[in-house]
Amino acid sequence: MEIEEHISTEERIIKAAEKIFLREGYAGARMQEIANEAKINKAMLHYYFGSKKELMEKIFSAKFKEFIPKVTEALQSETTFENVLRVYIDTYIDMLMRNPYLPLFLIDTMHRNPEFLSFTQNFPGKLFAAWLQKQVDLKKIRPIKPHHLLLNMIGLCVFPILAKPMFQKVFQIEETDYQQILTERKEMVYDFVMRAIKIDDE
């Protein structure tokens, strides 16, 4: 019975480090706090992972992969452009609402500790860009550079998560109301993007 219930020390450290690094960022995170969270002492952290840097590398490269959308399958399936768009936005916003700390953690790290970027493998995102370009060539959508369309789509999904505290402050929005806004955006973003790129019929 213990086999299923037991969580290894290493696994507990990983989970604790994820929580603290994502919430506090690399500079703000404290090894002591990670140790407390994992219910061990600081010495154990170094026994398992050597240094704060090495532990961060582990967490960062894993989270980086999580954030890059896995659209490969969707693109290969023989479905409509509209469906791909809808699935993409739905999946992305769902993931973000479950991981609200993820975007700030990645963006902050890539700006202020770019050394950790070297520990991620190369991520050629050109597949989706090429697919979007094909949709333009096929006149499924208006002419628009794939990079712009991607920045638009991802920005419309991610920015409201990043800007939450600022937006709540400036527009004096309560927590529950903001959650409501985020939920509405799955429909809204799809609609907004479709209107912006659809080809007028006549």
Q: What is the binding site for a copy of itself (CB under 8 A)?
A: 23-25, 27-28, 68, 104, 106-108, 110-112, 114, 117, 120, 122-126, 129, 142, 144-145, 147-148, 150-152, 154-156, 158-160, 162-163, 165-167, 169-173, 181, 184-185, 188-189, 192-193, 195-197
Give the nearest distance from C-beta 149 to a copy of itself in angstroms. Answer: 9
Give the nearest distance from C-beta 124 to a copy of itself in angstroms. Answer: 6
- Here the tokens at position 127 are 């597949």
- Here the tokens at position 165 are 């505290």
Task: Compute how many other C-beta atoms are within 10 angstroms of the C-beta atom of residue 65.
Answer: 12
Give the nearest distance from C-beta 180 to a copy of itself in angstroms. Answer: 10
Contact flag: residue 51 with DNA (CB under 7 A): yes
Q: Which is nearer to DNA, 39 or 148 (CB)?
A: 39
| Pick from 71, 77, 170: nearest CA to 129 | 71
| Pick from 163, 155, 153: nearest CA to 196 | 153
Residues 6+ apart with CB under 8 A from 68: 123, 125
Q: Residue 41 binds what, of a copy of itself, DNA, none (CB under 5 to 8 Å, by partner type)? A: DNA
Give the nearest distance from C-beta 77 to a copy of itself in angstroms. Answer: 22
Task: Compute how many other C-beta atoms are within 10 angstroms of the C-beta atom of residue 187.
Answer: 13
Crossing angle between the packed helical segments 146-162 and 126-137, to the nearest 10 degrees:
120
Please state, in angstroms and rounded to a whole number, the distance separating the CA atoms of residues 75 and 135: 11
Contact flag: residue 53 with DNA (CB under 7 A): yes
Contact flag: residue 50 with DNA (CB under 7 A): yes
Q: Cα–chain-centroid distance for residue 89?
A: 12
Please state, in angstroms and rounded to a whole number, the distance separating the CA atoms of residues 29 and 13: 14
Give the nearest distance from C-beta 65 to a copy of itself in angstroms. Answer: 11
Q: Residue 65 binds what, of DNA, a copy of itself, none (CB under 5 to 8 Å, by partner type)? A: none
Q: What is the contact surface with DNA in residues (CB under 7 A)? A: 9, 29-32, 40-44, 46-47, 50-53
